[in-house]
Amino acid sequence: MNQRIASRIANSERMEDIVVGTLLELRNVARARASHSCFTEAELDALFDVGARHFAQGDWEDALGMFGLVSMFRPVEPSCLCAQAKCMKMMKDFNGASDLFMLAWKLDPDAPEPAMHAVECLLHAHKKSCAIALLETLMSSHQLPWADPDLQRKAEAWMSFLAPEKKDD
């Protein structure tokens, strides 16, 4: 795998292309390794459900532990990353949550929800300029109209509020 990464670096001009390509490669490796897991897919799904029940009950620390266990076998699965990030967000670990939400968005760039959660976390972490940059990237990378019009309106409203001088661009 190291030769493939080195090849990407040599042949790519954008660091983002290198990162996304490497993440996709890791996803394939993780899926191959999951077949040698001590858990079946059904068992991993059940563990995820247990984490979801803990989350619904407000027991975010135990939920994070369950989602973390599942993520050991599904390390680049956006749903697992988002579940962990939501727990971290509720526990007020906004920096860690925003990192996981952004990683989940990079792995599934067609889904704007993780990026919007990351924007919220960045704002809670007092990183307004990073939140604005992420919103700009998100809005420029998605075809209009979005599948979820409420989420699109929320993104547009945040952009108008956070960067009013850029709303006419």
**Mean of pLDDT over the chain:** 84
Closest CA to 70 of 56, 53, 84: 84
- Whether the pTM exceeds 0.85: the reply is no
Rounded-to-integer distance, Cα 154 and Cα 134, Å: 14
Farthest-apart Cα atoms in the chain, separation: 54
Q: How many CB atoms lie within 10 A of CB 157?
A: 11
Q: Domains of the chain, with CATH numbers?
A: 37-166 (1.25.40.10)
User: What is the pLDDT, as a whole number, of residue 140?
Assistant: 87
State pLDDT tens for residues 62-74: 999 999 999 988 8
Determine the Cα–Cα distance for residues 39 and 17; give it in Å rounded to an integer.
33
Residue owning tokens 């990351």: 118
Per-residue pLDDT tens for 75-129?
889 999 999 999 999 999 999 999 999 999 999 988 999 999 999 999 999 999 9
Give yes or no for residue 36 having a pLDDT over 80: no
- Residue range 134-154: mean pLDDT, rounded: 86
- What's the pLDDT at 168? 43
